[in-house]
């Protein structure tokens, strides 16, 4: 059941992305590209995740995207069922207004989105992932590095079965 829920969430999340934005799917394990393509289709770029902590993998993914010519980069997971194209537009407006970073805070203390105007690996360093202070530590890292930060609206993500039950009933048309 958990795999089915994740698949539904990830598919919904991809469908919420702005249609004209290029998307990179960073996947693991390294030998699962064919399974990812079979599941999600060909319109995306598929890149194996780097080794290391989640922070290491995020930093490397962002570095790759900027090296490939991106002018801004957004990292999301597949677990925020109310994230939509408007949120991405607001995030882009925040970056265009001069912020270096924009976070979409999750109500559990993490974040459902981070957007960057440039590679900022320091924001991902020594972060306690999946903790009640994940966003707080990332914001402290950004402040220490002198980065200007914007915040989007807080949203609920799905980490536990109770989260799923709570948001599933609120979604129009279900998933």
* In a domain? residue 174: no
- Judge whether 175 lies within some domain: no
Residue 29: asked if its preceding bond is cis (omega within 30°), the reply is yes
| Domain count of the fold of the chain | 1
Per-residue model confidence as pLDDT tens for the chain (175 residues): 678 888 888 888 888 888 888 999 999 999 999 999 999 998 899 999 999 999 999 999 999 999 999 999 999 977 888 888 899 999 999 999 999 999 999 989 999 999 999 999 999 999 999 999 999 999 999 999 999 999 999 998 877 777 677 767 666 555 5
Which residue stretches of 41-168 are H helix? Answer: 54-67, 85-96, 134-144, 161-168
Backbone angles phi, psi at 168, to 5 degrees: -60, -40
Look at residue 38 and tell me if it is in a domain.
yes
Give the residue numbers spanning the domain of 31.
2-168
The pTM score is 0.89
Spell out the residues 6+ positions from residue 2 whose beta carbon is closer than 8 angstroms to its own.
none
């Amino acid at each position: 059941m958990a795999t089915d829920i994740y698949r539904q969430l990830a598919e919904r999340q991809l469908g919420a992305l702005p249609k004209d934005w290029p998307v990179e799917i960073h996947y693991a394990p390294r030998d699962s590209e064919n399974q990812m393509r079979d599941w999600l289709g060909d319109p995306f770029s598929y890149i194996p995740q780097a080794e290391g902590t989640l922070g290491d993998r995020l930093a490397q993914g962002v570095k790759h995207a900027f090296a490939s010519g991106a002018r801004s980069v957004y990292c999301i997971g597949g677990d925020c069922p109310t994230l939509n194209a408007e949120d991405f537009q607001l995030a882009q407006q925040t970056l265009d207004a001069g912020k270096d970073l924009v976070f979409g805070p999750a109500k559990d203390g993490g974040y459902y989105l981070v957007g960057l105007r440039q590679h900022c690996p320091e924001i991902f360093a020594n972060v306690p992932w999946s903790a009640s202070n994940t966003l707080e530590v990332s914001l402290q890292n950004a402040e220490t590095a002198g980065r200007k930060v914007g915040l989007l609206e807080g949203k609920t993500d799905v980490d536990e079965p109770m989260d799923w039950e709570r948001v599933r009933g609120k979604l129009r048309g279900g998933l």
